[in-house]
Amino acid sequence: MRQALAFATHRFAFSATPRLDAELLMAHALSITREALLLGRLDDPVPPAFAVLVERRAAHEPVAYLTGVRAFWTVELAVGPGALVPRADSETLIEAAIAHFATRAPTRMLDLGTGPGTLLLAALDQWPGATGLGIDASSDALAYARVNAAALGLAARVAWRLGDWATGVDERFDLVLANPPYIGADEPLPPEVRDHEPAVALFAGADGLDAYRALVPQLSRLLAPGGVACLEIGATQELAVVALVRATGLGATVRRDLGGRDRCVVVTA
């Protein structure tokens, strides 16, 4: 098994985390956790399923699609084709919301472009007294969201809706979350993203700002007094998105991710 992991790590040289990818796939092939693999199984025979997983990953298929799960914040989410893979950078939005509410807690939350429920389910797990509404234009993504809510025991606290951003929503929320598509049409992407993840969740017009132009003007009617909206942005979009927010009369500050890149616009009334 040690040799197989070393070989797979070499095959995955295109990845930012080749050894981690290999370990996650090996653990998946064994139906155990990565921790269990590393602590006591490295001298075992290689499971037959591993070779197929290595070939699929070598063809740039996302690890999360191969294992069917991805950890995010305090939850583990089912993901697959048709759903955007949760990324650690998006946890910046949860951190921003926690900083805003400090010792109090939001009670009503909205996630626009919820995908597999990533942000909303993490927020519901963070604040056990809250309820939420998740909206997405993709029925495939919402199917994952429903599965995830049930698996996490959160189904009674959340509703899902197929829709176009906040069109038809007539209530106010303490917390609005959104990770909209923000990639420009001609921007290069790694093959595992470009060829596998849903384009509708990635691309937003020539400059990557079309979703913000549709979303930002709706925020003033969605935010409850004292509420906050946390919007994920691309690392070069700070000035443009902040300008869109401030043009509506709302306040905007920017929070950086752990890599030091602009990642979240924090919107307040």
Other beta carbons within 10 angstroms of residue 267's beta carbon come to 26
Other beta carbons within 10 angstroms of residue 196's beta carbon come to 16
Ordered by where they begin, the domains of the chain are: 2-59 (no CATH), 76-268 (3.40.50.150)
Q: What is the pLDDT of residues 175-233, one digit of tens each?
A: 999 999 999 999 999 999 999 999 999 999 999 999 999 999 999 999 999 999 999 99
Task: Please state the pTM of the whole predicted model.
Answer: 0.95
Other beta carbons within 10 angstroms of residue 1's beta carbon come to 16
Q: Please tell me the distance from the alpha carbon of residue 166 to that of residue 2, in angstroms, as a whole number.
A: 50
Cβ atoms of residues 142 and 163 within 8 Å: no
In this prediction, residue 266 carries a pLDDT of 98
Site of tokens 């994920």: 232
What residues pair up with 133 in beta bridges, in sequence order? Answer: 110, 159
Q: Does an H or E element contain 256, and which?
A: strand 251-256
Instruction: Per residue of the chain (269 residues), give pLDDT as tens.
Output: 999 999 999 999 999 999 999 999 999 999 999 999 999 999 999 999 999 999 999 999 999 999 999 999 999 999 999 999 999 999 999 999 999 999 999 999 999 999 999 999 999 999 999 999 999 999 999 999 999 999 999 999 999 999 999 999 999 999 999 999 999 999 999 999 999 999 999 999 999 999 999 999 999 999 999 999 999 999 999 999 999 999 999 999 999 999 999 999 999 98
In this prediction, residue 134 carries a pLDDT of 98
The pair of structure tokens assigned to 260 is 């030091």
Region label for 233, one of left (φ > 0), alpha (ψ between -120 and 50) or beta (otherwise): beta
In this prediction, residue 44 carries a pLDDT of 96
Pick from 240, 237, 233, 239: which is nearest to 257 by CA? 233
Between β-strands 131-136 and 108-112, what pairing exists: parallel, antiparallel or unpaired? parallel
